[in-house]
A and B are shown apart, each in its own frame.
Chain A
Amino acid sequence: MNARPDHSVLADQEGSARDDLLMDVRNVSLSFGGVKAITDISFDVRQGEIRAIIGPNGAGKTSMLNVINGFYTPQVGTITFRGVERRSMKPHDAVRQGIARTFQNVALFKGMSTLDNIMAGRSVLMKRNIVWQMLWRGPALREEIEHREKVEEIIDFLEIEHIRRTPVGKLPYGLQKRVELGRALAMEPSLLLLDEPMAGMNLEEKEDMSRFILDVNQQRGTTIALIEHDMGVVMDLSDRVVVLDYGKKIADGPPDEVKNSQAVIDAYLGVPH
């Protein structure tokens, strides 16, 4: 599977010196009142890799994704994305910068068709104003068709042609997850955040989804950061893994190294803290 450069040698070095750095998370802490969700976490994501974030329930993984795409503002720390440092931003600005995500619980627009859901993902990329939209001629129609072609490529890629016109509320769970991936891809992100893309799937659906994730990474060159509980999937897919427990980072490195780390084994097996 691994035709990509081996990152393991440099895995534990300081990331900021590298020129293929896509995102750098520095000393981020996030708390809700007295509850500390994330404590002083630093890690980086390199261009073109699949980065996994794992950890037991309540470790702060989803909070971390929410910080990355601007849904939460961390009290301490910075995030540098493509060389631009920031602490707080609106989620729609994160999308504009090229960060797209999917959700743990499917968050599709249930009343809209598959096609409309994926087209909605391209809203940020569409420019024509309301006057052109009203007329539905010339530039507005051209733009619509142009984006439709891109969306059809994604539909083709994810093999969901047959449900193009179906309202997504009527689709089975596995397909909904796939549509959600399609919607995230439609944003043409440079960093794709996947929050438990395989939760609640059977083996076959997991295999399909894994294949799509690898294809997205290799064919479209999209960098991926994913949260997943299925360790087999994580170890097979990812280039590097960061492990969180109780909001702290306890390990960071290539899958094999992380797998054998005593701290990780303790966290998963539950050693008294």
Chain B
Amino acid sequence: MFYRIAGQYKTSYGADYALFPIKQDAWLLALILVFAFVVFPLTASDFMFRALLIPVLIYALAALGLNILTGYAGQLSLGTGAFMGVGAYACYKLITIFPEMNIIGAIVLSGFFSAAAGVAFGLPSLRIKGFYLAIATLAAQFFLLWLFQKWAWLYNYNASGAIQVPNTQLFGVTITGAQAPVLAQYFFVLITVCILTAFAINITRGRIGRTWKAVRDMDIAAELVGINLMKAKLSAFFVSSYIVGIAGALFVFLWRGAAEADLFDIQLSFRVLFIAIIGGLGSILGNYLGALLIVALPVIIGTVPAAVGLPISSAMVEHLNTMIIGALIIGFLILEPHGLARLWALMREKLIIWPFPH
């Protein structure tokens, strides 16, 4: 009903490369952006920002990074949490060593540290594939976590062993630290995520994205059409870890405010992996849908039953959350391995031809 492709003709290949070949998609995105940039800031409470909106964006960004590696380039990774940690610790060190440095500069640079770590731990991918590579990245996860705990220089020899985010300002507004207004933090995260998503979309639909997908689908054939496997795999590790590192820096600097090494443990890696799987591997949109589901679920379980007069304990919330997410993952792996993004794509196809069956 809303989706009609009749009358929308392309007369050049340039027009065919528009981000939204169908006008209605562009309208839908515009609507979402209006909500994100105008409606939420005007209506949402501090709790909404802290518990829902900011974490959804940051988790979606981390999942986007992982999705580039796993969903597009087909290299399984279990080290996402540690690479987020590299981004966070790098940003912390940059800010404390160069206090006059702009927070944007620090975050942009910190991504390069995690990208370098990603490439280093991605080197085994040149030799091994699949589960064996996952084990190699697992080594990264444990090694880096150990490093965060034992290398005191990283957390400036704090007695607590934790990093405490200093106050930084941007255009006269406090952006990080305890006094930062949540609205400013939300906008900072939102804009960062929007820019990186746009970049990710462009990379994945161009030449580099095609080489990644070719490596994922059949690496021998990819090599025989002239794709340099080493370059393709390592560039995927680079881009993926860069985005994951930025997500890690945002995670600590604009959401948690402080972090211990344990924050970046394997649980975090799995959480991001679940978001990518439930959202849909090989899709950009899926990361947002997955993050929305995974982050919103505990919030909904924690607030809705209480609101309708059915108070449940916080331990119960935790258990319910674990059970539902576990069931969802099993369900998705069996029924729709391409995740929520595929469900949306199917729905859209149906809407385009509605009310006819085909």
Contacts and interface: CB of A to CB of B under 8 A. Distances in A.
Contacts of B228: 90, 92
B208 A109 contact: no
Contacts of B14: 141, 145
A149 B224 contact: no
A144 B213 contact: no
Nearest to A137: B202
Interface stretch (A2-10, A118-126, A198-206, A247-255): A118-126
A91 interface: yes
Nearest to A132: B206
Interface of B: 12-14, 16-17, 199, 202-203, 205-208, 210-211, 213-214, 216-218, 220-229, 235, 239, 282
Q: Which 3 A-B pairs have the closest CB atoms?
A: A95-B226, A124-B226, A109-B217
A71 interface: yes
Contact of A120 (B214, B239, B282): B214
Nearest to A106: B221
A257 to B, nearest CB: 33
A120 B210 contact: yes
A111 B213 contact: yes
A101 interface: yes
Nearest to B231: A92
Contacts of B203: 130, 133-134
A152 B208 CA distance: 20
A112 interface: yes
A133 B206 contact: yes
A196 interface: no
Contacts of B224: 69, 71, 91-92, 95, 101, 103, 107
Contacts of A148: 13, 16-17
Given A109-B214, A152-B13, A100 B225 contact: yes
A183 B225 CA distance: 8
B194 to A, nearest CB: 14
Given A92-B226, A116-B210, A110 B202 contact: no
Contact of B226 (A107, A141, A187): A187
Given A109-B221, A111-B217, A187-B225, 13 more contacts: A92-B227, A96-B226, A107-B224, A111-B282, A112-B214, A120-B214, A120-B225, A121-B225, A123-B225, A123-B227, A130-B239, A136-B206, A144-B206
Nearest to A142: B14
Interface in A77-120: 90-92, 95-96, 100-101, 103, 107-112, 116, 119-120
A249 B239 CA distance: 49
A234 B282 CA distance: 42
Interface in A210-245: none
Q: Chain A contact residues: over half helix, strand or loop, or mixed?
A: helix
A187 B203 CA distance: 21
B225 A134 contact: no
A96 B229 CA distance: 14
Nearest to A117: B214
A128 interface: yes
Interface residues of A, number: 39
A154 to B, nearest CB: 14
Contacts of B218: 107-110
A108 B207 CA distance: 17
Nearest to B202: A136
Contacts of B227: 92, 120, 123-124
A96 B224 CA distance: 10
A170 to B, nearest CB: 14
B17 A134 contact: no
A135 interface: yes
B13 A134 contact: no
Nearest to B226: A95
A25 B222 CA distance: 25
A140 interface: yes
A109 B213 contact: yes
Nearest to A148: B13
Contacts of B16: 148
A112 B210 contact: yes
Contacts of A107: 218, 220-221, 224
B235 to A, nearest CB: 7
Contacts of B199: 134-135
Nearest to A130: B208
A105 to B, nearest CB: 10
Interface in A157-181: none
Contact of B213 (A116, A124, A134, A187): A116
A109 B13 contact: no
B14 to A, nearest CB: 6
A168 to B, nearest CB: 9
A194 B109 CA distance: 48
Contacts of A128: 206-207
A109 to B, nearest CB: 4
B222 A109 contact: yes
Contacts of A120: 210-211, 213-214, 222, 225, 227
B75 to A, nearest CB: 15
A70 to B, nearest CB: 9
A140 B206 contact: yes
B348 to A, nearest CB: 14
A211 to B, nearest CB: 24
A123 B208 CA distance: 8
Contacts of B12: 145
A122 to B, nearest CB: 8
A208 to B, nearest CB: 23
Contacts of A111: 213, 216-217, 282
Contacts of B235: 130
Contacts of B211: 120, 123
11 contacts: A96-B226, A107-B224, A116-B213, A120-B211, A133-B208, A140-B202, A144-B207, A145-B14, A145-B17, A148-B16, A187-B226
